[in-house]
Amino acid sequence: MARTRIVPETKKPTNVVERNIALLDSLMRYLLAEPRLLDSLPDQFELVILPDDDPEMRLYNLQLLDSYDRAGKPVVFARIKSSGKANLRKTQPSLYVPLAA
């Protein structure tokens, strides 16, 4: 019998919108500098940014994914450092596109 782990809902992190915009800005700068990666992503996807060094935001963004209707869109997970000082050439984001079941 499979066990299901229930994760309690976290409270909304402070400055969540600003923090997610900063993460998206970093990711977009990287993708614009590496257009081959952007071309390899599926059309009309949902993006979930998972900051490696910010567990509060990572959990919150995963919970947001569960709360929205994706309407059959593929999901792309982006693992990235949230530090504004991160050099994206050295610490590249990791992009994951789960395979459909």
Residue 101 lies in a domain: no
Residue 11 lies in a domain: no
Residue 3 lies in a domain: no
Range of the domain at 85: 16-96
| 26-65 pLDDT per residue, tens | 888 888 888 898 888 888 888 999 999 899 999 999 998 8
CATH at residue 46: 3.40.1350.20
| 68-93 pLDDT per residue, tens | 776 788 899 999 987 655 555 556 78
Domain count, the chain: 1
| 30-39 pLDDT per residue, tens | 888 888 988 8
Residue 73 lies in a domain: yes
Residue 2 lies in a domain: no
Q: Is the pLDDT of residue 4 over 50?
A: no
Residue 8 lies in a domain: no
Residue 35 lies in a domain: yes
Residue 38, C-beta contacts closer than 8 angstroms, at least 6 positions apart: 31, 32
